[in-house]
C-alpha cells in the first residue's frame, strides 16, 4: 500500500506478547474494550499452561469432561465474548482486534458484519496456502476459532489459532450439543488441524500484521502486559471474564451425575 | 450482579408480527408491508425501544437489532431492583459467537425482568416488541423519553445507517 494511502488510515496500537497467561490476556482485552478509545491489535504467541476457555453462555456440564478436568486440575475460564469452548496452551497463537465502531468503513457493529470483514482479512493472510478455505479451514479441518463482543461504540474480535496442540488436551472437551452444520458430529481430533503443518510461524505473524496494515496505520508498542493494563483508569471497571472455582465445577459434575442417574 | 440465564437453544425463524395483534401497540406503521417499527414506542440510536405506560416503561431491542444480530441463544439481564442509567449497558445478548450490549434508553429502577428469556431467548427474534421484552423500569427522569426517536424518525435512522455500510 502506498504511503499516501496509509496517511488517512486510523491508528492501531500493536502489542506483541509471548506466553502471557490467557486469563491476564482476556482481562486486558476486556479492559481495553471498555475503557480505551484507541484501536488495538494484540498478538500473544502461546499461553503459559493448558486452560479451558468457555464463552459467556458456556455450561461446564455440557461442554467439559468434568471428571478429567477436576482430576488434572485444568483451569476453566468463562470469557466475556460469545462463542464456543476451546482448550488453549503454549501451542496456541492469539490474535485480537479491538476497534472503534467506525474504524473500518463498511463494517457495522454486528457479528456477521465483523466476521465478514475479518474473514476477508485472514483470506489475505492465508492466500495461496493449499486447501485454505474461509473461516480458518485447511481442507476440511479447522485451525482456529473466533468470538466477538460488541459495545455501543466498540467491538472486539479475537481468534485463537491452533499452531500446535496435544491430543490429550482435546479430550477435556465434549462434543458440543450445539454445533455448526459443517462440524458433522466429528470428534475434536477429526475436526481440527495444526497450522504448523502449513506455514512457518514467522510468516503467519508477518502476514497478519501486513494484512492489518492494509486497514490501519499500525504502531508497534513495546510494553509488557502489566504496564499496558496499568495505563487505564479502572476505578469503575469490573471484569466479566473469570476463573471458575473448583467448587463450581464440582457442583456442575454433581448435578450432571444426578441428571444421568434420573435418566437411566 | 447480573442474573445469568442459560437456554436450550432452538432455531427460531424471525417472524414479523404483522398477522398477530400485539398487546403493546394499537397500530402498526403502514410504511411497509411487514412493519418492523411500531407506533406508540420510542427508540434509541442503539436500537432499543421503550413503551411508557403510566409509571412503568418496558424496554427491549428492536426488530432491526435482532435481525442484524442473528439467532439469539443466550440473554443476560440484571436483577430486579437495580438501577439503570440512560445510555449505559444493563445486559447483553449472545448471537453468532458474539455478546452484544443492550443499553437502557432511560434512567430508573428495574421493577421487573422477563424471566421467560431464560428458556426461550429466541423470543427476542420472534417477538422483539411483545414476548421478547427485557426489563420494566420505573423512570427516574421521564423527560429523557422526549429525546428519543419516534417511529418515523427511527425508520429513517435505520435506513440511513444500513445505506452507509
- Which CATH code is given to the segment(s) A11-59+75-245? 3.30.930.10
Neighbour-count burial of B118, counting CB atoms closer than 10 A to its CB (0-12 exposed, 13-18 middle, 19+ buried): middle
pLDDT in tens, A238-250: 788 999 999 999 9
Asked if the Cβ–Cβ distance from A56 to B70 is below 8 Å, we say no
pLDDT computed for residue A258 by the predictor:
84
Q: Is residue B19 part of a domain?
A: no
Report the residue of B97, B163, B165 to disrupt the A interface, i.e. the one with the largest count of A CBs within 10 Å: B97
Q: pLDDT tens for residues A167-221?
A: 889 889 987 666 666 666 677 777 788 999 999 999 999 999 999 999 999 999 9
- Indicate the average pLDDT of chain B: 84
CATH number of the domain that residue B118 is part of: 2.40.50.100
Spatial neighbors of A256 by CB under 8 A, at least 6 apart, are A61, A66
Give the per-residue pLDDT at A102. 93
Query: How many structural domains comprise chain B?
Result: 1
For A70-96, b/e burial (b = at least 16 CB within 10 A) is beeebbbbbbbbbbbbbbbbbbbbbbb
Residue B69 lies in a domain: yes
Q: Tell if the CB–CB gap between B94 and A152 is shorter than 8 Å.
A: no
Sheet of A217-221: strand order equals A217-221, A11-18, A39-45, A92-100, A154-162, A144-150, B98-103, B89-95, B72-77, B3-5
pLDDT tens track for A98-140 = 999 999 999 999 999 999 999 999 999 999 888 888 778 888 8
Confidence of residue B4 (pLDDT cuts 50, 70, 90): very low
Give the range among A88-102, A153-167, B23-37 with minimum mean pLDDT. Answer: B23-37
Please give the ipTM for the structure prediction. Answer: 0.89
Q: Do B98 and A83 touch (CB under 8 A)?
A: yes
Asked if residue A229 has pLDDT above 80, the reply is: no
- CB contacts of B96 in chain A (<8 Å) are 82, 111-112, 115
Q: Tell whether B25 is within 8 A of chain A (Cβ).
A: no
- Structural domain including B94 reads 42-141+148-164
Lowest mean pLDDT among A16-30, A165-179, B39-53: A165-179
What's the whole-model pTM score? 0.87
Amino acid at each position: 500500500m502506498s504511503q499516501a494511502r496509509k496517511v488517512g488510515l486510523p491508528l492501531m496500537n500493536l502489542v506483541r506478547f509471548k506466553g502471557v497467561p490467557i486469563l491476564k490476556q482476556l482481562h486486558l482485552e476486556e479492559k481495553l474494550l471498555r475503557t480505551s478509545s484507541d484501536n488495538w491489535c494484540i498478538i500473544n504467541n502461546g499461553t503459559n499452561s493448558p486452560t479451558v476457555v468457555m464463552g459467556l453462555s458456556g455450561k461446564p456440564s455440557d461442554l467439559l469432561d468434568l471428571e478429567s478436568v477436576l482430576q488434572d486440575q485444568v483451569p476453566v475460564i468463562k470469557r466475556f465474548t460469545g462463542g464456543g469452548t476451546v482448550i488453549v496452551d503454549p501451542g496456541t497463537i492469539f490474535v485480537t482486534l479491538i476497534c472503534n465502531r467506525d474504524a473500518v468503513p463498511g463494517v457495522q457493529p454486528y457479528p456477521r458484519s465483523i466476521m465478514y470483514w475479518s474473514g476477508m482479512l485472514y483470506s489475505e493472510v492465508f492466500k495461496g496456502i493449499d486447501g485454505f478455505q474461509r473461516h480458518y479451514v485447511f481442507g476440511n479441518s479447522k485451525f482456529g476459532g473466533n468470538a466477538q463482543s460488541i459495545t455501543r461504540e466498540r467491538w472486539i474480535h479475537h481468534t485463537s489459532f491452533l499452531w500446535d496442540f496435544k491430543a490429550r488436551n482435546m479430550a477435556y472437551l465434549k462434543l458440543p450439543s450445539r454445533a455448526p452444520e459443517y462440524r458433522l458430529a466429528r470428534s475434536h481430533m477429526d475436526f481440527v488441524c495444526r497450522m504448523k503443518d502449513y506455514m512457518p510461524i514467522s510468516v503467519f505473524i508477518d502476514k497478519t500484521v501486513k494484512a492489518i496494515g492494509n486497514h490501519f496505520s499500525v504502531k508497534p508498542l513495546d510494553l509488557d502486559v502489566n504496564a499496558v493494563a496499568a495505563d487505564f483508569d479502572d476505578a469503575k471497571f469490573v471484569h466479566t471474564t473469570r476463573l471458575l472455582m473448583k467448587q463450581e465445577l464440582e457442583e456442575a459434575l454433581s448435578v450432571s451425575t444426578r441428571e444421568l442417574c434420573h435418566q437411566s | 450482579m447480573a442474573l445469568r440465564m442459560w437456554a436450550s437453544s432452538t432455531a427460531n425463524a424471525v417472524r414479523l408480527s404483522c398477522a398477530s395483534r400485539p398487546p403493546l401497540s394499537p397500530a402498526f406503521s403502514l410504511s411497509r408491508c411487514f412493519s418492523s417499527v411500531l407506533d406508540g414506542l420510542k427508540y434509541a440510536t442503539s436500537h432499543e425501544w421503550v413503551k411508557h405506560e403510566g409509571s412503568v416503561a418496558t424496554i427491549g431491542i428492536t426488530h432491526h437489532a435482532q435481525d442484524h444480530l442473528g439467532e439469539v441463544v443466550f440473554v443476560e439481564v440484571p436483577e430486579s431492583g437495580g438501577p439503570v442509567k440512560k445510555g449505559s449497558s444493563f445486559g447483553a445478548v449472545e448471537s453468532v459467537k458474539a455478546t452484544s450490549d443492550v443499553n437502557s434508553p432511560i434512567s430508573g429502577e428495574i421493577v421487573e425482568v422477563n424471566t421467560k428469556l431464560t428458556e426461550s431467548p429466541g423470543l427476542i427474534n420472534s417477538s422483539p416488541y411483545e414476548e421478547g421484552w427485557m426489563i420494566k423500569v420505573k423512570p427516574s427522569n421521564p423527560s429523557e423519553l422526549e429525546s428519543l426517536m419516534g417511529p418515523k424518525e427511527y425508520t429513517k435512522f435505520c435506513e440511513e445507517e444500513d445505506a452507509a455500510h
